[in-house]
Amino acid sequence: QVQLVESGGGLVQAGGSLRLSCVASGRTLSSYTMGWFRQAPGKEREFVTSIVWSSGRAYYADSVKGRFTISRDNARNTVYLQMNSLKPEDTAVYYCAARGSSVVTYAYWGQGTQVTVSS
């Protein structure tokens, strides 16, 4: 089992920045891929970014490339999502998730943190 706890959400003006954190516990993450997803009101949950813990290789949705950066801290068992140049359309609940790097389905999810970007 992997437990995930997100933090760092809030209200920010368009053009501003936020950094989300996701602390993982229960397992070492060397064989996991960590992801961030988001769900806006009335919309389906969508992929934002992911990082392969062992290699640090990251993947991004086109909508956030160049603005968002995912990173991980091995010592703290924490993954971060740095969000810059935020837009109102980035408003959503952001979820941290984990999956074994050899599988495609994310098995573990955090409770989510609200990000609201005002225009």
- 39-69 pLDDT per residue, tens: 999 999 999 999 999 999 999 999 999 999 9
Q: Are strands 113-118 and 10-13 parallel, antiparallel or unpaired?
A: parallel
> What does the alpha-carbon distance between residue 14 and residue 72 come to, in Å, rounded to a whole number?
26
Cα separation, 29 vs 100, whole angstroms: 9
- Among residues 75, 112, 76, 78, the alpha carbon closest in space to that of 96 is found at 112
* pLDDT at 116 exceeding the cut of 90: yes
CA 62 to chain centroid, in Å, comes to: 15
